[in-house]
Amino acid sequence: MRLLSDYFEGRHMGSINKNLEYLKDRIQADQRLSAYHVSLLAALIFASENSGLTHPFQVSRSKLMRSSKIYSTSTYHKCIGELQVFGYIFYSPSYNPFLGSRVSWNLEDETVLSCNLS
C-alpha cells in the first residue's frame, strides 16, 4: 500500500492541494455529474483523508452514504458505479460488511487530473 502523497510527489505535482484543485476543476466541467456524484466524491475525499491518504483505501457504504447525504442504496450504487465508469475512481466492492470496499483514485487517467478539458 502506498501513500497518496508519495504518488503525487512522484508525479511532480507538488502537493495534494494542487491535485484537489485539478479534481475540483474537472468536477465543475463534467456535465455528466449530478449533485449526488459531487457529494459522493466529497465523501470519498474525506474517507481518503481519514485513512491517512493511503492508496487504495477502505470505505463503508453506510459511512459514505451518511457523509454524502445519500439516503437511497440504489442511488448510492448507481453513483459509485458511474464514478468508476467516468474515470474518477477504481472501486472494488466487498460483500463482507466488516472489511469494507476498496477505492482508489484513478490517477493514471490524465483527463481526471487535467484542467484542460475540451
Q: List 44's β-bridge partners, or say none.
A: none
Is residue 47 a contact partner of residue 23, using CB atoms and an 8 Å limit? no
Mean pLDDT on 78-85:
95
Question: Would 41 be classed as within a structural domain?
Answer: yes
Residues in the chain: 118
Number of domains in the chain: 1
Percent of the chain predicted with pLDDT > 70: 74
pLDDT tier, 2 (very low <50, low <70, confident <90, very high otherwise) = very low
**Mean pLDDT highest for which of 9-23, 63-77, 83-97?**
63-77
In a domain? residue 64: yes
- Mean pLDDT confidence for 26-48: 91
Residue 61 belongs to some domain of the structure? yes
Is 50 in contact with 67 (CB distance < 8 Å)? no
CATH label of the domain that carries residue 12: 1.10.10.10
Would residue 21 count as lying in a domain?
A: yes
How buried is residue 59: exposed, middle or buried, by Cβ count under 10 Å (0-12/13-18/19+)? buried
CB 78 within 8 A of CB 90: no
Task: Please indicate, yes or no, if residue 63 is contained in any of the structural domains.
Answer: yes
In a domain, 118, yes or no: no
Give the residue numbers spanning the domain of 51. Answer: 2-113
18 confidence band (pLDDT: 50, 70, 90):
low
Alpha-carbon distance of 5 to 53, in angstroms, equals: 7
Domain-embedded: residue 66: yes
- Identify the pLDDT of residue 46: 87
Do 33 and 27 meet the contact criterion of CB atoms below 8 Å apart? yes
**Three-class SS state of 96:** coil
